[in-house]
Structure 1
Amino acid sequence: MLASVWDWLARAYEREIDRPGKEPLLLLLAGLVAGFGGIRTSTRLIRSGTRWWFGNVRMGGVHVHHAVFGVVLLLVTGALGFTVPEPGHVRGILALAFGVGAGLVLDEFALILHLEDVYWTREGRRSIDAVIVAVVLGVMLVVGANPYGVTAVGDRELTTRWAVVVLVVVNLLFTVVTALKGKPWLALLSLSVTVVGMVGALRLARAGSPWARWRYADRPQLLAAAQVRDELWEQRKQRYVTLLAGAHDLAPRHRPHL
């Protein structure tokens, strides 16, 4: 049983990943997830004051943020990637290392955005948003998702070119409306899954979104309903983010992440 499952996975990997040349992209994605997960675990251990775990890196009395190491890793692996003539194991290793560097940088995306240390604050959770966006885009590229669900134009796929145009325009409209309603994650996913954009466009907008400012200004009941839904969504979101990234706005102990 296990042997047959393994054979099926091996054939699927060769057909979907190896032959199309997506292995470096998959390794990059794996490196990104591993880099982010590893460094986030490290910072949580440092913050909790775990004695057996090493502390922050300091040079000359200056705390060196891990985004610095990520930038160096990105530059080195990116430059070396241009010197590799053909796909192979070396390119795979470089892709994996590049992903790790990207994970280190994106984990401190909020610090770069605000130009101050907001790692353990609510603003610092924008780093989690950045990582999620990067992972979603990476997965879409690996699985071969095409924007708007159009893979080709032909008699079997669509009757006429005008049908393709209508499909793309309608899907793009759903995506834009979903984004204007303050739902960037659904808007991103709707680029490949039309029904997601349809649901996002038809449902209530978020209270602070451009759509709410334009359409709900003279409709207080809709605005109030949007605010209630936002509060419930924010509570759920913060619970999941706390599990992933650790609690924010807490007084650090012993060796803080500065």
Structure 2
Amino acid sequence: MGWLHRWWQTEIVHGAKGPLLLALIAFVVTFVTTRTVTRLIRAGRGPFHNVSSGGVHLHHSTPGIVLLVTGAFCAVGADGRLPVNYIGAALVGIGASLVLDEFAMIFHLQDVYWSQEGQLSVYVVTLCAACLGLAIVGISPDAAPWDPAVATSARGRVTLVLGAHLGFVAVTALKGKYPTALLGIFLSPLAWAGAVRLARPRSPWARRFYSSAKIARAAARETKFDERWGPLHLWWADFIGGRPSQPDPSPSSAAAQRP
């Protein structure tokens, strides 16, 4: 377990990742707790119930926004003071989890929490937690025990590599592979693979650079990919967020509620 101790001292203690780790823990615990409570409310079990104010249902994204903003201001004003930035990190983790758990409702401007479209929130929360985890386990150059002479000579090469890597990430995003691009920020091979493979047929890259024949190839590959991995995505969303119990809103009713 010596490697774990060294990693903890290098990355968490000297790398100043303690607040980030606390934010991740608060984020995951809040999401699990929130989904457990909402599923119990839907099943009519336990002492939990929906909260209303003046006849208006109070969604948990509302206190989430308050906590997120409060935590952000605490973190910005902490200036290295340990109690404040840890408190801010916890508030950001809790608030972000409450807001992103209802991301689909905010995106659609409609109550789709228990519909198939509402499972978008599960994907967003999963992606956010994965990025936080990768940021924590990644190597911090400032915390690594570099020799000053080695660090100076390596800085230029690192800058070139990072610039090329961000180029791969940008191409991956332009190809419509947004989750891959986001994770590829931390896992370079994902960005490299996403940048060289076919784009999604409706992506900006495909519309700008692909011929009609190549767009057809991209559409066929997208269909094959979705047929292979789509059931796994649905299983994950059902397992984490609960199986949908409401139909998706019709496009006309969704458009009617938009300002």
TM-score (norm 2): 0.76
Percent of pairs with identical residues: 38
- What's 2:136 paired with? 142
Residues 2-151 of structure 1 correspond to what in structure 2 (within 5 A)?
A: 5=1, 9-10=4-5, 12-50=7-45, 52-81=46-75, 87-89=81-83, 91-144=85-138
Shift of 1:182: 2.2
223, 238, 241: which is aligned to 1:242?
A: 238
Aligned match for 1:223, one of 216, 219, 222: 219
Counterpart for residue 190 of structure 1: 184
Question: Offset at 1:170?
Answer: 3.5
What is the distance in 2 between the residues matched to 1:165 and 1:13?
26
1:193 to partner: Cα distance: 2.9
More displaced 10-residue stretch of structure 1: 124-133 or 66-75: 124-133
Cα distance change on mapping 1:184 and 1:146 into 2, 3 Å: farther
Larger mean Cα displacement after TM superposition, 130-139 or 110-119: 130-139
- Unpaired segments of 5 or more residues in structure 1? 252-258
- Deviation, structure 1 residue 22: 1.7
SS in 1 for 2:213: coil
TM-score under structure 1 normalisation? Answer: 0.76
Distance 1:221 1:41 in 2: 42
Question: Contact 2:135 / 2:186 at 8 angstroms: preserved in 1?
Answer: no
Once the two structures are superposed, residues 202-252 of structure 1 have per-residue CA deviations (whole angstroms, 9 ceiling, x without a partner) of 33333443344452522434532332223323222112121111112547x
In the TM superposition, residue 56 of structure 1 has moved relative to its aligned partner by 0.7
How many residue pairs align between the two structures? 238
Q: Secondary structure of the residue that 1:39 maps to in structure 2?
A: helix
Gaps of 5+ in 2: 248-259
Deviations 1:116-174 (A, max 9, x none): 21212233223223323432332243234579xxx99743x37xx4x556534532332
Larger helix share, 1 or 2: 2
